[in-house]
Chains A and B, each alone.
Chain A
Amino acid sequence: MNYDSSTPIYLQVIDSIKKQIVTGRLPPGEKLPSTRELALEYGVNPNTAARIYREMEAQQLCFTKRGLGTFVTESEEMAIMLKKEMAQSVISRFFEEMKELGYNKQDMINAINEKE
């Protein structure tokens, strides 16, 4: 994975895992790799890997069963919510850049409708 320069690495890995939850590649209740496996998979520091799971747990994206490992949240709504949230952020970025080009909202809607 190539990391964007200025965003903290742990956030970039969390985004990548979120995407896998949204697309169903990581279904609810699925076991996640151990922190060391995660570190190796993404080529990040083991402490960063541990932080990734801590942050994800705080956001209720995953939970830890003592001695068994870390699992994707079992809540089905979570994937739907995440999808919405990620879509919102894509739209905001799109909005910003289109505004810079001088498009207003209606221009944007027209442009989207013209696109196949």
Chain B
Amino acid sequence: MDYVRTDGLSKKFNKYAVKDASITLQQGKIYGLLGPNGSGKSTLMKMVAGLFHPTGGSIQIMGRPASYKSKEFVSFMPTESYFYNYMDIKTVGKYHSDFYKDFDAAEFDSLISFMQLEPKMKISSLSSGMAAKLKLAAAMARNAKIFMLDEPLNGIDLVARDLVLSSIIRKAGPDNVMLISSHLIDAMEGILDEVIFIKEGEIVLSGEAEGIREKHNKSIVDLYKEVFA
């Protein structure tokens, strides 16, 4: 089933940030939304998450036009850190479970320890890497249908990178879909089913990752360099 479908989706600020983007996300797959900074990845995700109103085009979520109701299906992790400084990690968990009925507190605890964080750590004392891991744990603790992670490797060092990728692999299942944006293509390449290349707001290439590797006889990284150079 198509969990997310956009048709001719556009967002114009001063100029077009996303233009005529049509994508389909099927359940059970991990999609990479790949493009350099400023290519429209976050804008596209924020429209699907219901945080930006599209200038044009349409969005279907779980077979219905997107509305405030579709937020219950969508777990969106933005690039910005959005936690209050006075909270500790445990409180962040409670805060999220008040907001989302599909928030799994036990899963959050297990993700926190998997990410090598402590429940009593204060938000104000977290390093940027720790804050990034907490943000991911909060997003992944939901039993959502659609996960959208905006740059989950930002601020994550090489060692923690495997933890982040593993937590994504652990969560991916036949009953959800993941859309992950990144400009760190080499790190993401192994875990993606499908790739979507976005350039200056437009979708320039999309398809099955292994199929693309076979067809072009080169890695996604090399193809990326070719498309965006």
- Residues in A lying within 8 Å of B, measured CB to CB: 3, 5-10, 36, 39-40, 42-48
Across-interface contacts of A48 in B (CB, < 8 A): 190, 193, 210
A44 and B221 contact, CB distance less than 8 A:
no
B221→A43 contact, CB < 8 A: no
The residue of chain A having its C-beta at the shortest distance from the C-beta of B189 within the complex is: A3
Q: How far is the CB of B152 from chain A (nearest CB, A)?
A: 14
Asked whether A44 and B222 contact (CB < 8 A) given A6-B213, A8-B210, the answer is: no
Complex-state Cα separation, A3 to B221, whole angstroms: 12
Flag if B214 contacts A43 (CB, 8 Å).
no
Q: B166 contacts A40, CB within 8 Å?
A: yes
Question: Residues of B contacting A46 with CB < 8 Å?
Answer: 169, 172-173
Question: How does the 8 Å CB contact mask read for B43-71 relative to A, with 1 for contact and 0 for none?
Answer: 00000000000000000000000000000
Q: Is there an interface contact between B193 and A47, defined as CB atoms closer than 8 Å?
A: yes
Distance between A46 CB and nearest chain B CB, rounded to angstroms? 6
The B interface is mostly helix, strand or loop, or mixed, namely helix
- Residues A5 and B222 in contact in the complex (CB < 8 Å), given A40-B169, A46-B169, A48-B210: yes
Do A44 and B191 have beta carbons less than 8 Å apart?
yes
Find B172's partner among A5, A9, A45 (CB 8 Å cutoff): A45
How many interface residues does B have (CB within 8 Å)? 23
In the bound complex, how far is the Cα of B173 from the Cα of A48, in angstroms?
12
Given known contacts A3-B219, A5-B222, what 6 new A-B pairs fall within 8 Å (CB)?
A: A6-B222, A8-B213, A8-B214, A40-B170, A43-B165, A45-B192
A43 near B190 (CB under 8 angstroms)? yes
- Given contacts A40-B170, A43-B169, A48-B210, are A6 and B190 in contact (CB under 8 A)? no
* 0/1 interface trace, chain B 78-119, chain A, CB 8 Å (1 if under): 000000000000000000000000000000000000000000
Cβ A5 vs Cβ B221 within 8 A: yes
B29: Cβ under 8 A from any A Cβ: yes
Which chain B residues in 176-212 approach chain A with CB under 8 Å? 189-193, 210
Contacting residue for B162 out of A43, A44, A47, CB 8 A: A43
In the A-B complex, the 4 residue pairs with the smallest Cβ-Cβ separation, listed nearest first, are: A5-B219, A45-B191, A8-B210, A39-B169
B24 within 8 A of A: no
CA gap between A48 and B210 in the complex, in Å: 9
